[in-house]
Structure 1
Amino acid sequence: MVVDEVREVSSGPQTSLLALAPLRHKMPSRYLFHFAQAHDDFRLPELASVAELHGISYSLPQEPENRDPKRPYMAIDLEREDHARTLARRCVLIKAVYEFYGQGSTYKELHEANRKSKLLWTRYVEDTSFRFLVTAYQHKIPQSRQRDVIESFSYMGFLGKIEMKNPEITLTVFEEYEDRHGMTRVKYEGDGNFRQLFFGRLLEEGSARPLIGKFDVKKRSYYGNTSMEAEVSLLMANQTLASPGKFIYDPFMGTGSMAYPAAYLGALVFGSDIDGRQMRGKQKTPGVIRAATQYGVASRIIDLATFDITHNPWRCGELFDAIVTDPPYGVRAGAKRLGRKKELSEEKKALTLQHSLEARADDQPYIPPTKPYELSHLATDLVLFARYLLKPNGRLVFFLPTVTDEYEEIDIHAMLCEGMEVIANSLQDFGSWGRRLVTIRKTTREQYAPPTFPPRLPQDLDEDVHVPAHKDFREKYFQGFKPKAEESKELS
């Protein structure tokens, strides 16, 4: 779409019009995005991340109701058609993208908008095979009314062949109804009482969504009871901006759920865990490598190492483009760090040292003792750890469980350190609790010394420091997230 613009310039006390020298500017075109009905709080952060990765600029609708991420359709302005296709091919939550012809709250408004977009669709009128679909969100439209809707667009005058299987173009009308999920209703109830109408030509179906089936945990050759579901791990990979040439690290590797999508998208991956058995499994070839081989990305798993991040071997920072992880928070597997719940006496320390010096060759390998790692401490340490290891503008992407009734925005910001900022915070809601996919970017170019993580006890907490809702999450989970007032009443 091109527009001629006339500029006003100042010439002394008078103003003249340069009417003879119009400027030609490429104006953004509008595209209709059809989102999958899952993880609505993740849609815009994923869109923003993929757009940043590919250098795509875009504009969301100005009206708040039209940019609501919970709605399945959104008209977005982009500079080029191939940008719309790129987003559809990479974003997991995009079902399809359409060239936008119009929208309205009634069919009269929709037809008026469509007539104004005539320059976009008249090129297909003469000899283009096509099919015309009428569909709805949260509703089934009777076939008789579908035919009526299609006939109402007869003014477009398409002369090409109607082809339902392999048409050159597909035109679609979308009727958006209010979300009635979980409600019982008779067939076709409320037909025609739609919230909004949209119309456009199909450009690209989302090709990233089939990856959900490809990375399905149930089809994986190696997985555990804490393996992340495929759709979420793909969303996490997009938040890291995973692509060829990127180096990504998972410090709580487990069975590798975050590694496979990141590697599939072209990144090199390094993983570590305090318990190497999670990564290795019981066979000679490590389980993570076997699963990576299944996806054809084993060569992109650089290495696996066993260590505690609070006693890590990294001696130089700014190594990684992104850190992506799902820290253990105690529901199925509690977080651990090296140390003892109760320190040994000097006598027992001496006996332990003597035993290790006298150990025979056939002895079992020494397994150092571990103690619980409180979630709020872990989260704060993880941000500090990431600031040291990330390159400037690198991203930390991780899940943080929260108690729904207690959560406050400051819970996330309180864990930040200088040089780190939150750029996305998406909730996966489970009712009384949820988990937040937090994306933090390193904004500083200052180089830091390797961080230290001294042991901390609950009584060390400063009374003036904000206590986040995710503190003692494991205990709250198994207590059923009882309100504090109720807990106090039970204790009394």
Structure 2
Amino acid sequence: RSIFELWGHGRSAGELYASLKNYPMDKMLPYLQSDSTYKVRIHTFNKTLTQVQKIKKIDALEFLPFKGKVNLKNPEHIFCILEDYGMDPNNVPEEPFHLYFGRWIADGQRELIESYSVKKRHFIGNTSMDACLSFIMANHGRVKPNDVVYDPFVGTGGLLISSAHFGAYVCGSDIDYNTIHGLGKATRKNQKWRGPDENIRANLRQYGLEKYYLDALVSDSSRPIWRKGMLFDAIITDPPYGIREATRRTASQKETVKSAER
């Protein structure tokens, strides 16, 4: 959920304080200056503390050389005490198993999983990529604004959506004519045929990302279709690993042979 710079860790409060006292002062001081503002948070796992208990734990950190002013609404630096009380809600210990203290760096974006949930998506198929995995793959591809991202097995465009969210221009290809053009039987229950506006472009439009959509092509990715040279900043895809979607033939074998001869 969040990323922290760890300053100290212990199995008890005493161990935590000793660990903090051994943390290099030169790494602390940039965030403890008199002209800065800060606040301290407490996060507990599997236990809820009263406000009085939280204040007592924060006050116990007075040995740290905080010189700045406390600002609870908009601080420059946020420090956190993390306390782990185990996984059993029916047997919560009085004292935590582990205590951590560190500087907050950033929160994750787990809310995107719900916002981009496949269940709410306009156009889906049997193999539509889960929103969480799509964002993980876009992160691994280091997708950034103004990149050009290509998915050679685009399907219903799940990976294009996550890449476009990060500001990349997206395109893809797929051998399935029906999927590219949003035709054929619907995947959703109680819906026989896909609607006229069920396609990859409509998916990006649903999330306000249509301006990043370049195009999608009907193409067999086992055959080269692109000229040589640097075309894409990232190629992110989920290759086929079984027959879960029926495909439609768009050319005869004779036509394929003739095009190959040319």
| Same fold at TM > 0.5 | yes
Question: Once the two structures are superposed, what CA deviation does each residue of 1:424-463 show, in whole Å capped at 9, x if it has no partner?
Answer: xxxxxxxxxxxxxxxxxxxxxxxxxxxx9xxxxxxxxxxx
* CA apart distance, 1:214: 3.6
Aligned to 2:4: 97
Aligned to 1:216: 117
Alignment of 1:296-311 (within 5 A): 296-311=208-223
Pick from 52, 61, 81 the counterpart of residue 153 of structure 1: 61
Q: Is the 8 A contact 1:97 1:205 kept in 2?
A: no
1:236 match: secondary structure: helix
User: Cα–Cα, structure 1 residues 169 and 243, in superposed 2: closer, same or farther, change >3 Å?
Assistant: closer
Residue identity matched to 2:107: E
Pick from 201, 223, 231 the counterpart of residue 103 of structure 2: 201
Question: Once the two structures are superposed, what CA deviation does each residue of 1:202-225 show, in whole Å capped at 9, x if it has no partner?
Answer: 34333x444334422233332233
Q: Is the 8 A contact 2:123 2:198 kept in 1?
A: no
Residue identity matched to 2:63: Y
Residue identity matched to 2:3: A
**C-alpha separation between the residues in 2 aligned to 1:337 and 1:229?**
24
**C-alpha separation between the residues in 2 aligned to 1:285 and 1:186?**
50
Question: Once the two structures are superposed, what CA deviation does each residue of 1:353-393 show, in whole Å capped at 9, x if it has no partner?
Answer: xxxxxxxxxxxxx6659xxxxxxxxxxxxxxxxxxxxxxxx
* CA apart distance, 1:173: 0.9
Pick from 33, 37, 40 the counterpart of residue 132 of structure 1: 40
Q: Is the 8 A contact 2:177 2:218 kept in 1?
A: yes
Q: Is the 8 A contact 2:84 2:96 kept in 1?
A: no
Q: Is the 8 A contact 1:308 1:337 kept in 2?
A: no
**C-alpha separation between the residues in 2 aligned to 1:152 and 1:223?**
53
**C-alpha separation between the residues in 2 aligned to 1:122 and 1:115?**
16
Question: Once the two structures are superposed, what CA deviation does each residue of 1:179-222 show, in whole Å capped at 9, x if it has no partner?
Answer: x3xx5x426x223241x32212334333x444334422233332
Pick from 1, 9, 12 the counterpart of residue 106 of structure 1: 12
Alignment of 1:343-382 (within 5 A): 368=252
Aligned residue pairs: how many?
240
User: Cα–Cα, structure 1 residues 318 and 286, in superposed 2: closer, same or farther, change >3 Å?
Assistant: farther
Pick from 252, 259, 262 the counterpart of residue 153 of structure 2: 252
TM-score (norm 2): 0.72
Residue 174 of structure 1 pairs with residue 82 of structure 2: yes
Aligned to 1:401: none
**C-alpha separation between the residues in 1 aligned to 2:223 and 2:66?**
69
Residue 237 of structure 1 pairs with residue 138 of structure 2: yes
Pick from 253, 267, 270 the counterpart of residue 168 of structure 2: 267
Residue identity matched to 1:190: P
User: Cα–Cα, structure 1 residues 243 and 115, in superposed 2: closer, same or farther, change >3 Å?
Assistant: same
User: Cα–Cα, structure 1 residues 242 and 162, in superposed 2: closer, same or farther, change >3 Å?
Assistant: closer
Percent sequence identity is: 32
TM-score (norm 1): 0.41
* CA apart distance, 1:255: 0.7
Structure number with the higher strand fraction is: 1
Q: Is the 8 A contact 1:279 1:286 kept in 2?
A: no
User: Cα–Cα, structure 1 residues 111 and 151, in superposed 2: closer, same or farther, change >3 Å?
Assistant: same
Could you list the runs of 4 or more consecutive aligned residues of structure 1 that deviate by over 6 angstroms after TM superposition?
Answer: none
Structure showing greater Rg: 1
1:310 match: secondary structure: coil
Question: Once the two structures are superposed, what CA deviation does each residue of 1:308-355 show, in whole Å capped at 9, x if it has no partner?
Answer: 223454454654333222233337437x697xxxxxxxxxxxxxxxxx
Q: Is the 8 A contact 2:155 2:174 kept in 1?
A: yes
**C-alpha separation between the residues in 2 aligned to 1:307 and 1:190?**
60
**C-alpha separation between the residues in 1 aligned to 2:48 and 2:197?**
54
* CA apart distance, 1:236: 0.8
1:186 match: secondary structure: coil
Pick from 78, 89, 94 the counterpart of residue 191 of structure 1: 94
Aligned to 1:333: 245
Aligned to 2:187: none
2:163 match: secondary structure: helix
Question: Once the two structures are superposed, what CA deviation does each residue of 1:42-65 show, in whole Å capped at 9, x if it has no partner?
Answer: xxxxxxxxxxxxxxxxxxxxxxxx
Structure 1 gaps of 5+ residues are: 1-35, 37-94, 339-365, 370-451, 453-492
Q: Is the 8 A contact 1:250 1:258 kept in 2?
A: yes
Structure 2 gaps of 5+ residues are: 183-193, 254-259
**RMSD, aligned CA:** 3.6
* CA apart distance, 1:306: 1.1
* CA apart distance, 1:126: 5.7
**C-alpha separation between the residues in 1 aligned to 2:37 and 2:140?**
39
Q: Is the 8 A contact 1:263 1:269 kept in 2?
A: yes
Alignment of 1:401-440 (within 5 A): none
Q: Is the 8 A contact 1:246 1:267 kept in 2?
A: yes
Residue identity matched to 1:232: L
